Structure 1
Amino acid sequence: MDNNIIYTNESFELFINQNEVFIKVNNDNCSIPTFNEILTELPRIRITKFISLKEALTNPTKTLISIGEYKPIVEITTSPDKLKAYAIINLNPQEYKQFDKNELIKLIMAFANNKNIIFGLNLERINNHLKPLEKFCIADGVLPINGDDALINLYELQEVKPQIYNDGKVNHYEMNLINKVDKGDWVGERIEPTSGIPGKTVFGTPIPALPGKQLKLIYDKKTISANLSEDEKRTVLTSRKTGAVIYEDGILSVCNCLEISGDVSFETGNIDFDGFVEVKSGIDDNFSVRADNDIQIMGQLGLGAIDTIESRDGNIYIRGGIAGKNKAQIICNGDLYTKFASDCTIICNGTVNIGYYAMNANIKAKEVILESLNSKIIGGSIEADIRVVVGELGNRAEIPTSIKVNGFSKATYKEEYDEMNTTIDTIKDKINYISQSLSVYNTNSLDEKQQKALIDLEITYEKLLKQLKLFQQKRIKYVSYLKSKGDGEIRANKCVYPKVNITINNHSYKNNKLYKAPITYYLKDNELKHS
């Protein structure tokens, strides 16, 4: 056996043969701790046979005994994820000082090449981090960059909230109920998911990126078209017709919208329309406007002795107010917004919102809200289920005014509201789960069974979106209802005049004096109270 001696002292000798390390122990004068101390100066030796070494040192036989291996000058390792490669220089400080650094770098590159490390090697970094007996990084792989998920932007309906202000000359009550679009107008888009950027290991092996998740566009295909852009980066939704944007059962759609440029009069006749109606001016006396959806009357002068305005399933906005001459009748299934209301009848399943005053008006609604501090209810009869809010009740002339709130169980409404929030969260979780499931399908490579599963998922997804929208709309109403103090509320934010009759759930109070301060009448524990 051709042995090369690599270390010798009076106690033992170390030999190398084909990278295997042998020891020949001459006496028992060397302990294991002493041997380990000597090894620190011989960093290329790796002990792999500890029992053989211990036996050789304690029972010397003067024969060659294999105890380990002789490491190369440079060792190359990689991280478990193969994204980093490391080198360690097996030279003691004195050896390292004497070794040519350029040769050392060549050795590192050669050993890396032998390990098939071909990507991310950085010579400058290697040169800057050269040091003996400490592992240092010589190459970096690249992590993949996952694709971006699809992003959907849909037409946002304007907030239905009137702006009440005075410009120094006129009291204004401005808002817009109808979200009009022309044929070809943008109503939404989906920014398509990206495929991502692959990564690479230090061995040059590609690491695939996860593509972004696809999201399904939910819209009414009869009224809205979808087109992929030339760069295929977005799908744009445009209206197929001129109309009003709505979310019908949670589905984006464009509904029919009738626009009357002047007055409703003998020229137009009475209006009855299966969509939205916008009247740019006013309505002549004795004429009617009926529609399935929202109606807005934009004339500054308001309405007089009209016959009827009725929205069968929507809201009504009357910009100029109502001076009904004891004839006008306003009926809506949603909410009513008007600058003022006098000498008219209002029947509303939602909230009646009045900007400035209600005078000699007969109003029946879920809520009647006059938010302006200077707003007034004078005369007439007001009946609400939940609450009535106004600045002043009655007037100095002490015109008899009747305010009635039927009352409700606030505790029950609160329970329903909490259940609604839980249901909404559950529906959202289901939508997210189905959305993730939908993103897995590649519509270009589905068999019949997979296509059916995809269709079933899409149907369920649309149903859940509808449910979510309905619950969210209902929750908005409940937020307003739960603002009521007690189980029914009548609040005057400024004052109450004499001859105002207050009734909440059959508990009545007749005010016979001027009360010049904010006051709230409310029902609690089946008692009429005030604060």
Structure 2
Amino acid sequence: MELLKNNFFIITVDDDSKVFINVFKAGYTMTEFNSLLTKYPRINISKFLLLKQAIKEATCETVQIGELKPLVTCKISQDKMVATIHFHCSNEELNENKLLYIPKAIELLHSKRVTDGISLDVLHQQLEAKKDIVVARGVEPVNGEDSIVSYYKMSERKPTIREDGKADYFDMNFIDVVEAGEWLGEKIPPTTGKAGRTVLGSLLFPKKGKDKVLYYDKKTVKKEELENGKVVLRAVIDGVVQIENGKLSIGDHLVINGDVGVETGNINFDGSVTIKGIVQDGYSVIATKDISIMSEIGISRVKLIQSKTGDVFIKGGVFGKGVTNIVSGQDIFVKYANECTLTSKRNINVGYYAIGCTIKATNLYAHEYKGKIIGGEVEARASVTAGFIGNEMEKPTVVIVEGFDRDEIKKELEELLKNYKKAVQKTESTKMLLDNYNHSDLVENDQEYDRLRHKFDEQVTEVSNFEQSRKGLTELLNLKGDGQVSIFQKVYPETFIQIKKQTKKLKSPSKGVFYVVDKQLHID
């Protein structure tokens, strides 16, 4: 079949779509030929050297120079998500023959097994020649959403000082008390997602959302499974909400509605204690967990207030008169303190002032604007922060910071993080094994499941302990130097500051941050 003819050559195509040229007159250039091909986009030149030779020599021989492209071709992307068609003709030809060419395109799509995502709007309204046109798109799968876990929001143990024009208060929500049956947390189950399809109609399966574990103590917290798959945690007993070893639990709680005194005797309780009145002179309160004394009056000449593993909060304050001893396994929060001993394994927080006290802690925090440390002796491992130290009467005040070796702390943290990572990996592996079980009543009685569950609980505890240690080490590294004393308002003469055995006795008022680097005491 003849495709075109001019004064120099004739181009034909056979039944196998092979394109031939017969050049019977020399003088036609390749530039002219390339320009001519733009009017015939279906001609594909695959034998360029033979074409060039034929035009140059004009031997009148018939030579194959290429192939005739189909009117329309179809390409399918490697991921089978996109199908395109390409019309090998001019836009004029396409517009004149749309009613004929569109059915050919649809027939070609069907022959390529393209069945899904075909856009008829594109086929009928947005076609262009000599351009890849997207006519079908697959549907991507929608992966499932991870389960959503939420827990009872415990009050932040951070004292606040507020002013209402008449009085200041040292306030904080200290103990979170719940009754049996109260909501403690929940888990919305993961979703399965939505399947997608390729343009060839193949299903694309989504990834199911990841499930998450609810960490709770089965003795004091129960799990309810609702019809929609949602899991709700509720308190089994009345008590105090707490996190122990990374798990939500309810601790025993003793509430004294009045004072600790003759009617109650000394208190020694395994759990948390809330005293709504005061502790009378000469009496003591000992608890394994948190102790909160809520009276605004404060306490005086109390023998001992001791929390073995928790915090101590005294909303009013302490007039110790040299005999009161406050001891905490964690933190102490006190509005003010007079002539008493405060000892904490972690932090001591003073709202307004501590006068003539003996204070021992990792960190002492007195309010940066109002907090005063006057007289007495402070011993801290890492830092002391206050608004004022000493007073205008130049009452001798001793502040000693033991300090630490920053390089050793860095090494300790680095080693801890390695072990922490390993512990997390072990915990995740055990969780995967647990997830393989069908959590039915029968499974709950399975010995292997119980063994794995016990192992998992131990691993969660280990991870929780690592996390607490990490926080403590990170806090040390955030300090300046190897120990720090920060005075935001004024430090008075006769104040003695010692950090890592580097000493300074203030002879004039000052303020700033004292710290030690390379056995040198600095102030910023």
Q: Percent identity?
A: 31
Deviation at 1:41, TM superposition (A): 4.2
Q: 1:370: which partner in 2?
A: 366
Question: Could you say what secondary structure the match of 2:240 adopts?
Answer: strand
Q: 2:168: which partner in 1?
A: 171
Deviation at 1:297, TM superposition (A): 0.9
Q: 1:516: which partner in 2?
A: 509
Deviation at 1:498, TM superposition (A): 5.7
Match status 1:73 vs 2:68: no
Q: 2:198: which partner in 1?
A: 201
**Counterparts in 2 of 1:521 and 1:27: CA distance versus 1, 3 Å:** closer
Match status 1:266 vs 2:262: yes
Instruction: Number of aligned residue pairs: give it.
Output: 517
**Counterparts in 2 of 1:43 and 1:525: CA distance versus 1, 3 Å:** closer
Higher mean displacement: 303-312 or 31-40 = 31-40
**Does structure 2 retain, via aligned residues, the 8 Å contact 1:487–1:523?**
yes
Question: Could you say what secondary structure the match of 1:365 adopts?
Answer: strand
Alignment deviations for residues 299-332 of structure 1 (CA, whole Å, 9 cap, x no partner): 1111122221111111101001111233322111
**Does structure 2 retain, via aligned residues, the 8 Å contact 1:494–1:516?**
no
Q: 1:184: which partner in 2?
A: 181
Match status 1:249 vs 2:242: no
Deviation at 1:508, TM superposition (A): 6.2
Q: Tell me the amino acid that sits aligned with residue 516 of structure 1.
A: P
1:403 to 386, 398, 402: 398
**Counterparts in 2 of 1:444 and 1:385: CA distance versus 1, 3 Å:** closer
Q: 2:319: which partner in 1?
A: 323
Distance 1:326 1:410 in 2: 34
Deviation at 1:390, TM superposition (A): 3.5
Q: Tell me the amino acid that sits aligned with residue 210 of structure 1.
A: K
Higher mean displacement: 331-340 or 21-30 = 21-30
Deviation at 1:290, TM superposition (A): 1.2
Deviation at 1:256, TM superposition (A): 2.0
**Counterparts in 2 of 1:251 and 1:70: CA distance versus 1, 3 Å:** same
**Does structure 2 retain, via aligned residues, the 8 Å contact 1:434–1:457?**
no
**Counterparts in 2 of 1:262 and 1:137: CA distance versus 1, 3 Å:** same
The alignment's TM-score, normalised by the length of structure 2, stands at 0.82
Q: 1:112: which partner in 2?
A: 109
Alignment deviations for residues 484-506 of structure 1 (CA, whole Å, 9 cap, x no partner): 65545555544455655555566
Higher mean displacement: 412-421 or 110-119 = 412-421
**Does structure 1 retain, via aligned residues, the 8 Å contact 2:367–2:387?**
yes
Distance 2:20 2:133 in 1: 31
Match status 1:150 vs 2:147: yes
Distance 1:41 1:180 in 2: 86
**Counterparts in 2 of 1:53 and 1:459: CA distance versus 1, 3 Å:** farther
Aligned-CA RMSD value? 4.1
Q: Which runs of 5+ in 1 are unaligned?
A: none
**Does structure 1 retain, via aligned residues, the 8 Å contact 2:302–2:320?**
yes
**Counterparts in 2 of 1:408 and 1:416: CA distance versus 1, 3 Å:** farther
Deviation at 1:148, TM superposition (A): 1.8
Listed as ranges, the matches of 1:18-167 within 5 Å are 19-21=16-18, 23=20, 25=22, 27=24, 29=26, 33=30, 40-46=38-44, 70-92=68-90, 95-96=93-94, 98-99=96-97, 101-167=98-164
**Does structure 1 retain, via aligned residues, the 8 Å contact 2:368–2:487?**
no
**Does structure 1 retain, via aligned residues, the 8 Å contact 2:23–2:58?**
no
Distance 1:491 1:6 in 2: 93
**Does structure 2 retain, via aligned residues, the 8 Å contact 1:245–1:252?**
yes
Deviation at 1:209, TM superposition (A): 1.6
Higher mean displacement: 278-287 or 7-16 = 7-16
Q: 1:346: which partner in 2?
A: 342
Listed as ranges, the matches of 1:322-471 within 5 Å are 322-396=318-392, 399=395, 401-405=396-400, 407-412=402-407, 414-416=409-411, 418-419=413-414, 422-423=417-418, 426=421, 430=425, 434=429, 438=432, 442-444=436-438, 465-471=460-466
**Counterparts in 2 of 1:443 and 1:61: CA distance versus 1, 3 Å:** farther
Higher mean displacement: 213-222 or 89-98 = 89-98
Match status 1:287 vs 2:280: no
Distance 1:524 1:287 in 2: 45
Q: Tell me the amino acid that sits aligned with residue 102 of structure 1.
A: L
**Counterparts in 2 of 1:22 and 1:319: CA distance versus 1, 3 Å:** closer
Distance 1:185 1:151 in 2: 20
Alignment deviations for residues 193-228 of structure 1 (CA, whole Å, 9 cap, x no partner): 221211112222222222222233332222222333
**Counterparts in 2 of 1:176 and 1:8: CA distance versus 1, 3 Å:** same
Deviation at 1:124, TM superposition (A): 1.8
Q: Tell me the amino acid that sits aligned with residue 277 of structure 2.
A: S
**Does structure 1 retain, via aligned residues, the 8 Å contact 2:280–2:300?**
yes
Q: Tell me the amino acid that sits aligned with residue 106 of structure 1.
A: P
**Does structure 2 retain, via aligned residues, the 8 Å contact 1:405–1:489?**
no
Higher mean displacement: 130-139 or 415-424 = 415-424
The alignment's TM-score, normalised by the length of structure 1, stands at 0.81
Deviation at 1:403, TM superposition (A): 1.7
Q: Tell me the amino acid that sits aligned with residue 104 of structure 2.
A: L
Question: Could you say what secondary structure the match of 1:138 adopts?
Answer: strand
Higher mean displacement: 246-255 or 373-382 = 373-382
**Does structure 2 retain, via aligned residues, the 8 Å contact 1:275–1:294?**
yes
**Counterparts in 2 of 1:97 and 1:411: CA distance versus 1, 3 Å:** closer
Q: Which runs of 5+ in 2 are unaligned?
A: none
**Does structure 2 retain, via aligned residues, the 8 Å contact 1:376–1:391?**
yes
Deviation at 1:272, TM superposition (A): 1.7
Q: Tell me the amino acid that sits aligned with residue 108 of structure 2.
A: F
Deviation at 1:455, TM superposition (A): 8.5
**Does structure 2 retain, via aligned residues, the 8 Å contact 1:313–1:334?**
yes
Question: Could you say what secondary structure the match of 2:464 adopts?
Answer: helix
**Does structure 1 retain, via aligned residues, the 8 Å contact 2:382–2:483?**
yes
Distance 2:313 2:304 in 1: 14
1:307 to 303, 313, 318: 303
Deviation at 1:263, TM superposition (A): 2.0
**Counterparts in 2 of 1:279 and 1:30: CA distance versus 1, 3 Å:** farther
2:271 to 269, 272, 275: 275
1:16 to 3, 14, 18: 14
**Counterparts in 2 of 1:352 and 1:15: CA distance versus 1, 3 Å:** closer
Deviation at 1:31, TM superposition (A): 7.5
